[in-house]
Amino acid sequence: MMAEDKAGWHLSKGLSVSHILSTAVIAVGFFTYVTDIEQKTMINEIAIKSIAERMDRTEKRHSQEFGEIKEMLKHLTVKIDNLGQRRER
């Protein structure tokens, strides 16, 4: 009966070198992974900000160009109206 009790689970209080090394490797790997994520997040943040600024500049330029086109169309409309009025006389 006593032989059966000794064959059960046994927990050692000591730490092996391989356990310490594997824990250190996992910790370094995790730290590297988290740091890499932070760097990629910052790069994406900068890229998004740059794209947003570029879109704002493009939108302003398009608004200005469309405003100029509208003014040209107004002038052409006035000229066409003037030509139409001259022909009627």
pTM of the model: 0.55
Query: Cα separation of 60 and 67, whole Å?
Result: 10
Provide the residue-wise pLDDT of the chain in tens; the chain has 89 residues. Answer: 444 555 677 777 777 899 999 999 999 999 999 999 999 999 999 999 999 999 999 999 999 999 999 999 999 999 998 888 877 66
Per-residue pLDDT at 1: 45
Give a yes or no: residue 3 inside a domain. no
Give a yes or no: residue 61 inside a domain. yes
Give a yes or no: residue 2 inside a domain. no
Number of domains, the chain: 1
Give a yes or no: residue 18 inside a domain. no
Query: Cα separation of 29 and 23, whole Å?
Result: 10
Distance of CA 76 to the CA centre of its chain: 45
Give a yes or no: residue 57 inside a domain. yes
Phi, psi of 7 (to 5 degrees): -85, 0
87: left (phi over 0), alpha (psi -120 to 50) or beta: alpha
Q: Of 20, 42, 40, nearest to 32 (Cα)?
A: 40
